[in-house]
Amino acid sequence: MPSTWPYLASGEPEHEGGTPEFLATWQHSGVKRLKDFLHHLKQGRDVSPHTLRAYASDLNQFIEWITARGVRELQSVGHDEVKRYVASLVTGGMARTSVARKAAAIRAFFRFLVREGELDTDPSALVSLSRVRRKLPRALDSDTIARLLSAPVGTEFVPTRDRAILELLYSGGLRNSEAVGVELADLDLNQCVVRIMGKGRKERLAIVGSHAKRALKDYMDMRRRMVKSGHESWLFLNHRGTHLTSRSLHRVIARYLVTASLPEGTTPHTLRHTFATHLLERGATLREVQEMLGHRHLSSTQIYTHVSPEHLRRVYESAHPRARSRSK
């Protein structure tokens, strides 16, 4: 079963495996509109390649499902088809977060078709899902994050690089993909900042703290001797002197999570959660953390408003007019 449409996501008319059999039965205009939608996401909304592949995969699965039930054109898709498809995902045991993501892809596609005048009504408009409860992000306490940051041991290239990576991730609240995308020209150790290109190509400046600055200086001294031709522009390199990929970085960090004996459920993204939580616990405002994380909307940052009970108690006792009288 094909899981993506490479030719749709890339804008090419075909891919080397040929058109999936189920899609070949569709009218040409329907296939074209699917390509137009993915092109709109890529060019108009500037989504990441990962997001584009996810949309293509989710729509691929939906189209294959309704095609198996006799639908051959977009105008024939009704509310019942969308509703039954979503219900089949739920009854099939799929995680509700995944169901919500697939439903969102379908809604976005049909809204696009309505805006473009291809459809008069949106068949997905009346399909409702119970609100997905977002999990609170896991954050590490100061002692635990210190244990992780000291996990790389040694003076060779790899542990020196890994210390620089971990320190920068925690110092600036970077995503893994952002860290591997940093170029030498983006880093300014004199000003202690690094320019980051985030989701949706949203640019921001991240702070390089004193520990991260020292670790990066140590790494830069070794990097000059390691870099291979054609990879000079990238900040982080692998042990062969070529550009470090996001997948490799994920494996590197995952290894140190085990080495440092971090709690079960801790992931590489936990460093970013910890960065945000520690800032809020030490007095940063939600709007300031939003800027430092590079979130487009404040609602994305609001999940970090969970803080420790101890911090809430301190805030309460220092700010609430009745707190002191109660504690006497």
Annotated catalytic sites, by residue?
Answer: 175, 199, 269, 272, 295, 304
- Positive or negative CA dihedral for 93, 97, 100, 105? negative
